[in-house]
Amino acid sequence: MKTGFDTRHYKAGMGAFFLSGICAISAGIVVSILRDLYHFNYSFSGTLISVMSIGNMAALLVSGLLPKMIGERSTTLMLCGGYFLGYLLMALTGNPVVLLFSFLLAGAAKGCTANKCTILVGNNAPDRSKALSLMNAWFSLGALLCPFMISMLQKRNDRLAMAGVSTAGVLLWLTFLSARIPRQFRASGSGKEAAGEAFLKNPVFWLLAAQMFFQNAAEYVVNGWIVTYYKGEGILSGSTAAYTVTVQWGLALAARLLLAFGPKIKKPYRALSVMGIGLTSMYLLLLRMHSAVPALIVLGLFSFAIAGVYPLTTACIGTMTSSASVGILLSIGGMGGIIFPWVVGIVADMSGLRSGMAVNLIPCAGIIFLPLLISRKAEKNLHGNKKHY
C-alpha cells in the first residue's frame, strides 16, 4: 500500500542526525584537546567555537538559497562534507588559520544537516511531532555517546580522537549519498501556503521563529555557562563537572523518546507552554543549588523539560516546511544561542555571574507565553481561511 512517504529518506534523516550528534557535540571536547596540544589561550579557543556557530548559521541561510542554483543534492553533499574535512584538518595541523577554517566547515555541516534531516524526516512521516522528536532523540544519543568515543580513542592518541570524529563525518556524507536526495525538494503540503515563499507572509511562522530563538537562548546559556557557574559557586569540582554532559543529554534523550513513543500531543502550543513552565521552574532551582548531587539532578530535569521544545516547534511549521523556511527558522534560533550567552557574559562582568545567569529567565519565560500568542494567531488564520470558501 502506498503511503506517499519515502522510507529511504526517512531512515537517512534519522541516521544522519545521529551522526551529527556525535560530530557537533564533539567540537567542545576537541577544542579542549587542541588547547592542550598547542597551548592556545582562552580567547582563541572561544573564537573557534564562535566561528563554528557562524558556519552553522551561514549554512542554514544558504541551504534555502543555494539549492536554486546547484540543486538540493549537490548543496547537501557539498556542505555536509564539512564534518569530514573539518575534523580531518584539526587532526593534521595546529595552524590557527587552518583551524578557523576547519571549524567553519564543521559548523556549515551542522547547519546543513539540521536543515536537510528536518525535511527528510518531516516530509516522510505520518506524525511530524513524533517523527521529529525521534529524530532529535537520535541526535541526543549521538551527543551522549561522543564523549565516551573520544575518551576511548584519546587514550591511544589525541589526533586519533579527532580522526574518529572525521570518520563519523564520512559516514554521515555516505548516508546522504545513499538517500538519493532529489535535485529539488517539494514543500510538504499543497496549495498556496506550501508554495514558494508564502510562509514569509505568515505571522505564525515568525512567531514560531521567535519561539526557536528563545529555546536556543535558554539552552545555550545553560550549556555554555552552567559548569562555570557551579564551579564558581563551589558546587562542582573538576571530577563531577565531567558528568554534566552525560546528565544533560541522557535526560534529553529520555524526554525525546517519551515524545516519540508516548501519547500523541493533540494541543502542541499548550504542550509548549507546559514545557516552558517546567524548564523555568527548574532554572530557578538551578540558581539556588548548593551541593553537587541536587545540582546535577535539577540540571537533568531542566534538560528533560526543554528537550521537547525544539522538535515540537519545528513540527508546528507543518505545510510551510521547505529548505528556505527551515533554514530561516533554525538560523533565527541560532541567533538566540549566540546573543544570550554573550549578554550573560556582559552582565556577569558588571554585576557578577549570578546576575548574568538570571538574564536567562527572559527566554525561559518567553517559552511559556509565546505559544499562547501563537495559538491565538493560528486560530485567527484558520477562521480567516474558512471565510474564503
For residue 147, what pLDDT is reported? 84
DSSP for residue 39: -
Q: Where in the chain is the domain with CATH 1.20.1250.20?
A: 1-185, 188-382
CATH 1.10.10.60 describes domain 188-382: no
The CATH fold of domain 1-185: Growth Hormone; Chain: A; (1.20.1250)
The pLDDT, as a whole number, for residue 253 is 92
Report which of 175, 165, 36, 39 is spatially closest to residue 106, judged by C-alpha positions: 165
What pLDDT shows up at residue 386? Answer: 47
Going by pLDDT thresholds of 50, 70 and 90, the confidence category of residue 297 is: very high
Q: 118-132, 301-315, 333-347, 372-386: which has the minimum mean pLDDT? A: 372-386
CA distance 203 to 359: 27
State residue 382's pLDDT score. Answer: 56
Residue 241 has pLDDT above 80, yes or no: no
Q: Which stretch of DSSP H or E encloses residue 155? A: none
- The residues near 151 (Cβ < 8 Å, ≥ 6 apart) are none
Please say whether the beta carbons of 188 and 102 come within 8 A.
no
The residue that leads in pLDDT, 81 or 187, is 81
Give the percent of the chain with pLDDT over 70. Answer: 91
Percent of the chain whose predicted confidence (pLDDT) is above 90: 43
Q: What's the whole-number mean pLDDT along residues 126-143?
A: 90
**Residue 71 confidence (pLDDT):** 86
pLDDT tens-digit series, residues 94-117: 999 999 999 999 999 999 999 899
Q: Contact at 8 Å (CB) between 32 and 154?
A: no
Q: DSSP string covering 285-314, please?
A: HHTT--SHHHHHHHHHHHHHHHTTHHHHHH
Among all chains, which residue has been given the C-alpha cell 582562552? 42
**Confidence tier at 124 by pLDDT (50, 70, 90):** confident
Q: What is the mean pLDDT of the chain?
A: 86
The torsion region of residue 298 among left (phi > 0), alpha (psi -120 to 50) and beta comes to: alpha
Residue 300 has pLDDT above 90, yes or no: yes
- Give the residue from 59, 115, 180, 126 showing the smallest Cα distance to 321: 115
Distance in angstroms (rounded) separating the CA atoms of residues 99 and 90: 6
**357/141 Cα distance (integer angstroms):** 28
Rounded CA-CA distance 274/367 in Å is 9
Residues 158-185: pLDDT tens digits?
899 999 999 999 999 999 999 888 776 5
CB-based contact 90:37 (threshold 8 Å) = no
Bigger pLDDT: 378 vs 291: 291
Instruction: Give the residue, 122 or 364, on which the prediction is more confident.
Output: 364
Q: Which of 159, 167, 146 is closest to 38 using CA atoms? A: 159
C-alpha cell at 36: 592542550
Could you give the count of Cα atoms lying within 13 Å of 366 in the half-sphere of its Cβ? 19
pTM over 0.85: no
| Rounded-to-integer distance, Cα 119 and Cα 125, Å | 10
Residue 42 pLDDT > 80, yes or no?
Answer: no
Say which residue, 243 or 131, is predicted with more confidence.
131
